[in-house]
Amino acid sequence: MNYNNSLAFLSSETIPFEEKKLNLLSGFQSFLYSKRVGKLTDWFKSAEFNWKWHLSHHDSKFNQITTHNKTVKKIQEECIHFYGIEKANSAIAQISRRDIDPMAYNTGLVSFRKWDRDSVLLAIVVNKVFMCINKNRDRVKDIVRLSTVKETRGELLSIELIPGIKFRDLKASGTILDKLDKYYEDEDFIYEFDRNIGSNEDNKRFNAFQKHKRIVRKVRVRENELEELHKRTIGVKNSYCSNVALMYRNYVDECQRDYIENSYIQYGDDVTTQKPLADVIMTPERRVAELYSCVKNMELVAEQKRYVCLFLTATCPASFHSNPKFGKNTWDGSTPREASNYLSKKLDELSKARNRYEFNDFGLWTKELHKDQCPHLHALLFVSPCKVDDLIFHINRIFRHSEKSTTIETISAEQAEGRGKKKASASTYVMKYLIKAIQDPDSESLKVKAGCMIWGIRRYGFFGVERAISVWRKFNRFVKMADWQINLELKSPIFKTLVSFRKDLKFLDFCKLVKAKLEWVKELEVVERLHEYQDVITRKTGLRIIGTDIELRTKADCVIAYKAKP
């Protein structure tokens, strides 16, 4: 790219970053109306570049927001304008360099890295919009005011910065101004990154630019998956996900491994407390072991109570399947995320029915992908024999939408013995799907993980334990403690009983006691944002015995530091 022709280059000076930021804010509005924009138009004409068609062509890529608010409309128009100008800059720079192939910047780029060019455009648009808004104090006040109302805040967050990337995709709290401020980058740094895109390596020099790339890559990979679904290539040529999604998943896993291996955790200011992050993080192997121990305890309690095990398989309607193996294709364009939401709503309906009719059942569910990327549900439910028929009735009422959409297999202890199986065999029904989705390193499992990651599909959850798995994990630190250490740290017999349940892997007894006796200690923190805007953030800092002042602090005073490679 010829950076001397860019708006950013023309409006920048050789000054420190923070000073440059303030100076650009003060001079940006006058720059927009200066003759330099006219000169840029002349450059387009001299290069025989139809810039008007170019800008209108890129305007059509935006999804126009539906609103009656003038401020929202104005910001969306500015995003479209700045994006079009920068795209035109890129095109004219390629035309002016006759000795270089116009597509040379894509040479050597692999799969998802070809979208890093959009990361540059996103960063530039963020800078321009941020400067333009801050120049107008009345508009700043309007944004702060609109951010306090749920409906208008949603409209602000739905504004597209570049095609497909909205304000809500920027991971930051506060108003859209706080989001823009967090993603603001020095423009010299942006163009330096742009010059290094062609090498397929993520230079440590550009770690600060990772947040832009993560957003763009994830959205673009998702768009690519939807395009492949429309072409019906997923499920025939590629099972579970496209090759691009699989490569992106492998890249994310590689980055996570690098971060874990080169990071340490430190408690307070004491350097002697440093320990590798890998020693405390929840790895896939630990997660599978934790889930297996929980399911085995459920099964043991079910045997003691002579409960019946129900194994449920539920699928989505045909309209969610983009490339079905059997039958006529009736796909309506729904995404795998929408199919997952459909199953989640059905799970919520089942939970309400279970609570209303007091089935007192418990179990585990997991979501798995079909080869065409549409998810389906497997669930393991333990229920009293006298309530089996009622539970099956409500399952069919909620999940069944066609003759073969729902299957329920009943497995009692006697039936398991009659088949020559062990009584504990019921847990293997659902655990094989969990292990496949979480831990297995084979190519098929990696594709399932990639598909779930791209669409944000939650893969498993529990029935009848009131989300006590988070509290269960808080007691992991007591497992290897001696009794005298536990007595020294915990004074309440309730906490000591919970530690005993945790050590003995009595998951259901643990969850029952937590539900009856404990509550979260929540602290409200008021955080000051830009332009006198305040965010109220709720933090869970510990556990309290209901009706007392006895607390157990669960939020550790620690920091995580990354050791950069030499």
Q: Which pLDDT does position 82 carry in this prediction?
A: 85
Q: At what angle do helices 35-46 and 51-59 cross, to 10 degrees?
A: 110
Q: Which pLDDT does position 544 carry in this prediction?
A: 94
Expressed in percent and rounded to 5, the helix, strand and coil fractions of the chain are 55, 15, 30
| Domain edge (last residue) among 410, 445, 464 | 464
Assess if residue 386 is contained within a domain.
Answer: yes
Number of domains into which the chain is organized: 3
Q: Are residues 373 and 320 in the same domain?
A: yes
Assess if residue 242 is contained within a domain.
Answer: no
User: Smallest Cα–Cα separation from 509: which of 301, 236, 311?
Assistant: 301
User: Smallest Cα–Cα separation from 380: which of 452, 434, 451?
Assistant: 434
Residues of 467-488 as b/e, b for ≥16 C-beta within 10 angstroms? ebbebbebbeebeeeeeeeeee
Torsion of CA 171, 174, 179, 184, to 10 degrees: -120
**What angle (nearest 5°) sits at the alpha carbon of residue 513, between those of residues 511 and 516?**
110
Q: Which pLDDT does position 3 carry in this prediction?
A: 37
The span from the CA of 555 to the CA of 397, in Å, is: 43
Phi, then psi, of 241 in degrees rounded to 5: -165, 170
Assess if residue 243 is contained within a domain.
Answer: no
- Helix or strand holding residue 522 (H, E): strand 518-528
Residues 361-376 pLDDT 10s: 999 898 989 999 999 9
| Domain edge (last residue) among 464, 491, 512 | 464
The span from the CA of 178 to the CA of 130, in Å, is: 10
Assess if residue 234 is contained within a domain.
Answer: no
Within a 13 Å sphere around the CA of 451, how many CA atoms are in the beta-carbon half? 32
**Residue 75 and residue 135 in contact, taking contact as beta carbons nearer than 8 Å:** no
The CATH number given to whatever domain includes residue 308 is 3.30.70.1910
**Residue 363 and residue 380 in contact, taking contact as beta carbons nearer than 8 Å:** yes
**Residue 556 and residue 264 in contact, taking contact as beta carbons nearer than 8 Å:** no
The span from the CA of 72 to the CA of 143, in Å, is: 9
User: Smallest Cα–Cα separation from 187: which of 114, 89, 282, 277?
Assistant: 89
Q: Are residues 84 and 167 in the same domain?
A: yes
DSSP type of residue 61: T
Q: Are residues 196 and 295 in the same domain?
A: no
The number of helix segments (H) and strand segments (E) in the chain equals: 22, 13
Q: Are residues 354 and 328 in the same domain?
A: yes
DSSP type of residue 359: -
Q: Are residues 32 and 98 in the same domain?
A: yes
Q: At what angle do helices 35-46 and 70-96 cross, to 10 degrees?
A: 40
| Domain edge (last residue) among 406, 441, 464 | 464
- 522 burial class (0-12, 13-18, 19+ CB within 10 angstroms)? exposed
Distances (CA, A) of 461 to 70, 172, 360, 375, 468: 44, 28, 17, 15, 11
Residue 383's domain comprises: 284-464
Q: Are residues 205 and 322 in the same domain?
A: no
Q: Are residues 206 and 330 in the same domain?
A: no
Q: Are residues 476 and 448 in the same domain?
A: no
Residue 453: count of CB within 10 angstroms of its CB = 18
Assess if residue 80 is contained within a domain.
Answer: yes
SS3 (DSSP) at 400: coil
The span from the CA of 20 to the CA of 156, in Å, is: 27
Assess if residue 312 is contained within a domain.
Answer: yes
Distances (CA, A) of 301 to 298, 304, 481, 508: 5, 5, 26, 8
Which residues on adjacent β-strands are paired with residue 518?
Answer: 545
Assess if residue 296 is contained within a domain.
Answer: yes
Q: Are residues 124 and 47 in the same domain?
A: yes
Residue numbers in the chain where pLDDT is lower than 50: 1-15, 29, 31-37, 97-102, 416-424, 566
Distances (CA, A) of 437 to 232, 314, 443, 452: 23, 17, 11, 9
- 7 burial class (0-12, 13-18, 19+ CB within 10 angstroms)? buried
Q: Are residues 386 and 422 in the same domain?
A: yes
Count how many residues are written for the chain: 566
Strands of 247-361 (E only): list them: 263-267, 275-276, 308-314
Largest CA-CA distance found in the chain, in angstroms, rounded: 88
Q: Are residues 114 and 182 in the same domain?
A: yes
Assess if residue 435 is contained within a domain.
Answer: yes
Phi, then psi, of 309 in degrees rounded to 5: -100, 125
Task: Quote the pTM value.
Answer: 0.84
Which residues on adjacent β-strands are paired with residue 551?
Answer: 544
Q: Are residues 474 and 431 in the same domain?
A: no
